[in-house]
Amino acid sequence: MTEQTSDLRVAVVGVGAMGADHVRRLADRVVGARPVLVADASAQTAERVAAAHPGVRVAPDALAALDDDDVDAVVIASTGPTHAELLLACLERGLPVLCEKPMTTDVASALEVVRAEAAVVATTGKRLVQVGFMRRYDAGYVALRQLVETDELGAPLLLHCAHRNASVPPYSTSETVVLDSLVHEVDGARFLLGEEVTAITVRTPRRRRSAPEGLADPVFALLETQSGALVDVEVSAATGLGYEVRTELVAERGTALVGTESGPLVARADTAVRGRRVPAGFLERFEAAYDAEVQAWADAARRGTAAGPSSYDGYAATAVTTAGVEALRTGRRVEVVLEPRP
Ligand code: ISE
């Protein structure tokens, strides 16, 4: 495919909160692309989203959306366990695809996607998969990565990461918190430090009393990396407060913090916030990052390819989070051994 001159026509599969937000973004803000088709496990949800966007049709199901003649590229924002089959179908059809995280929820299917894409690259020379790790497009995280890349603060020693959700979807379990939320911190660490995670330990402190039944909340993870840096992560599932994501780098000659402001920061569930406002959710906190992410994806898709976080990044993150699920269950430190990049 050479550079497309008309708008990229996009099918969005899965139009819950994230997918519907991508439809709005493609309709209103992304240059050179527009949504044309939506599909969702709930026909009602698909109808509602389509009705809000003139020119957007509803496909009977996800595979029908991929087969539609009017579709040039695909955004997958359905639940994690549906991703592998859809990604393989996109690769088979040569469709550029932006797949929300987690790329897949198990290592075997993640590797299948990596290998299927490698076969496409071998014949066409073009990647097709971008994984939705939007933090790589967040100004704060990009600045932090530059500090590491330029060695301005010296070698990284530690990352302290906090990832606090006001609430999580009703289907959430302790495992999905690791697979769906912790996965951002895993990719964040790989992106910021530029190296792989080699082991993970997951502990849970005393449980938040207001946490939904059966959910470990918070979860505390320790990631080890190839260079010997350590990454500690708090993932809170249901603070009832707002959405707080921050990362602090401790390096040999300095520290750097993203995701907050200076000043006395007191965040409480009852009085909301003293000293600053906490964003309500991830759609608000990372709005600019999502815009940049989808624009970069659309620009590459118009050239028939993909940019940004790759299927290998998706695989590496899933390898760590699935090890994290084992670490959570057993209480043991679990090593992560990755297959080499194809
Ligand atoms: C959700 O699926 C996301 O991807 C958000 O970015 C994350 O912060 C949240 O915890 C997940 O449930």
* CB-CB contact of 289 with 79 (8 Å): no
Ligand 1: which residue has its CA nearest to atom 10?
181
The pLDDT of residue 263 is 41
pLDDT tens for each residue of the chain, 342 residues long: 567 779 999 999 999 999 999 999 999 999 999 999 999 999 999 999 999 999 999 999 999 999 999 999 999 999 999 999 999 999 999 999 999 999 999 999 999 999 999 999 999 999 999 999 999 999 999 999 999 999 999 999 999 999 999 999 888 999 999 999 999 999 999 999 999 999 999 999 999 999 999 899 999 999 999 999 999 999 999 999 889 999 999 999 999 989 875 444 445 555 555 556 678 899 999 999 999 999 999 999 999 999 999 999 999 999 999 999 999 999 999 999 999 999
The pLDDT of residue 270 is 53
> Which secondary structure element, helix H or strand E, spans residue 7, and what is its range?
none
The pLDDT of residue 334 is 98
* CB-CB contact of 74 with 13 (8 Å): yes
- CA dist 11 and 66 (Å) reads 7
For residue 339, give the 3-state DSSP assignment: coil
Residue-wise pLDDT for 143-190, tens only, equals: 999 999 999 999 999 999 999 999 998 889 999 999 999 999 999 999
- CA dist 128 and 117 (Å) reads 7
Query: Does ligand 1 have an atom closer than 6 angstroms to the CB of 238?
Result: no
- CA dist 171 and 154 (Å) reads 43
Phi/psi for 143 (5° steps) reads -65, -40
The pLDDT of residue 264 is 43
Phi/psi for 60 (5° steps) reads -65, -30
CA 244 to chain centre: 16
* Substitution candidate for ligand 1 out of 184, 247, 283, 285 with most atoms within 8 A of CB: 184
Ligand 1: which residue has its CA nearest to atom 3?
181
As a whole number of Å, the CA-based R_g of the chain is 20
Q: In what order do the strands lie in the sheet with 8-13?
A: 57-58, 33-39, 8-13, 73-76, 97-100, 129-132
The pLDDT of residue 52 is 98
Query: Does ligand 1 have an atom closer than 6 angstroms to the CB of 166?
Result: no
6 CA to middle of ligand 1, Å?
A: 33
For residue 257, give the 3-state DSSP assignment: strand
- CA dist 336 and 64 (Å) reads 37
Q: Is 70 exposed, middle or buried, given 0-12, 13-18 or 19+ CB atoms closer than 10 A?
A: exposed
* CB-CB contact of 177 with 219 (8 Å): yes
282 CA to middle of ligand 1, Å?
A: 7
The pLDDT of residue 4 is 76
Query: Does ligand 1 have an atom closer than 6 angstroms to the CB of 78?
Result: no
Neighbours of 146 (CB within 10 A): 10
Query: Does ligand 1 have an atom closer than 6 angstroms to the CB of 164?
Result: no
Looking from the CA of 77 toward its CB, the CA atoms found within 13 Å total: 22
- CA dist 99 and 83 (Å) reads 7
The pLDDT of residue 274 is 54
14 CA to middle of ligand 1, Å?
A: 15
pTM: 0.95
Phi/psi for 25 (5° steps) reads -60, -45
1 CA to middle of ligand 1, Å?
A: 34
Residues 6+ apart with CB under 8 A from 70: 9, 36, 37
Q: Which residue has the tokens 């909340």?
A: 217
The pLDDT of residue 5 is 77
What is the number of helices (H) and of strands (E) in the chain? 11, 15
Query: Does ligand 1 have an atom closer than 6 angstroms to the CB of 239?
Result: no
For CA atoms 100, 261, 244, 202, the dihedral sign is positive
Q: Give the pairing type, strands 219-225 and 197-203.
A: antiparallel
* CB-CB contact of 13 with 75 (8 Å): yes
Q: Give me the helix-helix angle, 139-149 and 287-302, nearest 10°.
A: 80
Q: Which residue has the tokens 């906190």?
A: 285
251: left (phi over 0), alpha (psi -120 to 50) or beta: beta
